[in-house]
Amino acid sequence: MFETETVLDRRRLRRHLSFWRLAAIAAIAIAAGAYFSNGDTLAGLTGKKQIARVTLEGTISEDRKKLRMLGKIAEADHVAALIVFVNSPGGTTTGGEAIYEALREVSKKKPVVAQFGTIAASAGYIVGLATDHIVARGNTITGSVGVIVQWPEVSDLLDKVGVKVNEVKSGLLKATPSLFQPLDEPGRKVTSEMVTDSYRWFLSLVEERRGIKADNVPGLMEGRIFSGRQALAHKLIDEIGGEAEAVRWLEDERKIAKKLKVVDWKPSDGSRFGLTSIAADISRAATSAALTAFSERAGETALLRGFSLDGLVSVWHPSEN
């Protein structure tokens, strides 16, 4: 009898231990999920108010995950405001346009402020134009209002190595400009018209959003860059400072509750715990490291990096002599 009760007690103890082990695993999973989602999921469940922070660094492109994330921020009741940290020389003009429109949708529901880092030029400046207030460092590089399209032309090289490219096309302007033939006058004309159209759109954004006349700002229409102090003098930005000044503006001018936590939001890649997701993360990291090493060894130039951007480009980089 005594042995039977002992066995039953041990079984009950095992069941209790199993329950608490499962509970502990579930708690760890929830905590890890909240961590990997940068706190926004947990804050949403608790209803705790926050200021969302979105970081846009490097080349700006039309990223659907980022656009969906901005849509979620617009609809999130626990997000009181949005800070957009921009540290980018620019990118594709359509990428800047897409993020601009998404941020304007956010601003219809909650205040949005931009904080410029080391550089926020071209398409990076387009992003800033979408916000209600722009804060930049005194030495931030900004401006570079304009559009460019670049492509290499290798017809002479092909002639030297004895390679001929044949083509049959439906019209004279199809596939113009081309890598494989010099740019003729009709091709130059239509390409220039396209660049001019996008440039006028960019200028209209500057004038509309900043309340200025572009031709009153020295060099603006020529695509020059400005320091943060120069940009402030010409009303291209609103304030010199960093995140503290951005938060203070939200509190003072938009009456956002003081001392709200600023929470980073990042695009969701779905579950981050599966073997497939982990393998993909490892693969991406290895590929990035390999490309970085190759770029350093090959001495990749800013011009060559520009060739990797298809379409109209709003990007700034210094000339390399």
* Catalytic annotation, residues: 122, 174
Q: Which of 247, 206, 237 is nearest to 223 (CA)?
A: 206
Q: Is the separation of the CB atoms in 127 and 90 below 8 Å? A: no
Distance from the first to the final alpha carbon of the chain: 93
- What is residue 102's three-state secondary structure? helix
Cβ-Cβ contacts under 8 Å for 100 (sequence gap 6 or more):
126, 127, 129, 130, 205
Q: Show the tokens assigned to 263.
A: 């929470």
Give the Cα separation of 147 and 224 in Å (integer). Answer: 12
Q: Is the separation of the CB atoms in 65 and 129 below 8 Å? A: no
If you write DSSP's letter for every residue of 6-75 in order, what string do you get? Answer: HHHHHHHHHHHHHHHHHHHHHHHHHHHHHHHTTTHHHHHHHT--EEEEEEEEEEE---HHHHHHHHHHHH
Give the Cα separation of 265 and 44 in Å (integer). Answer: 12
Cis amide bond preceding 177, omega within 30: yes
- How many CB atoms lie under 10 A from the CB of residue 119? 22
The residue assigned the tokens 């490097």 is 58
